[in-house]
Structure 1
């Protein structure tokens, strides 16, 4: 992708201009590892799963917000239901992972941070009522 190469060159120039030689070294290292130079679904899924397995709810939310702003907002309105369903499934997966690994601290963190937003959604009302039996 030529536009990615151009952006990479601009970043290199900036690092050199500012004297960020260590940052430039690491940037070049990361670029070499990223052979496809772009969004790869397998890498994104791997990253999301790693965030779930490490119970990093804040980063999951930040990443999802980034996706909403940069990717999902450009999709047809017909697809928005599927995107919302995917988000809810990811959050449920996080919660189930925490429950099955007896991480009540992470379950409590999730409920504290997310309940106000999620309880307004019909999909979550029934799910929360069933979840009470597992906590």
Structure 2
């Protein structure tokens, strides 16, 4: 299947590819390019409009960089701080974290204060996003 559209938003492209599209072209593609795409997709080769390919490569590279940076930042934490960070990433409250780790809520708060300071973050939402970017959820 080839998607031929005027919309080249990244989410639209990714949704089409996830749905099984073998090609994604914009309607302004020359007719010869569309025919070539049909032949190539029929032969099992994927095809994307050049502008889309460039954007997806940039997005993938940016996401890989964010993943690497997030993992590096979290590697600076102690094992206990890492466990607290993961729990925050899962959306646990301080009380839930304390119960899981068998420590007091005050201890959890102290860990969070050190984690946020060490990682130069302002709040637990930023910490949760960092855990997500690291691929740990």
When the two structures are superposed, what TM-score results if normalisation uses the length of structure 1?
0.23
Task: Select the structure that is richer in helix.
Answer: 1
Q: Which has the higher contact order (CA 8 A, sep 6+)?
A: 2
Normalized per residue, which structure has more strand?
Answer: 2
What is the TM-score of this pair, normalised by structure 2? 0.22
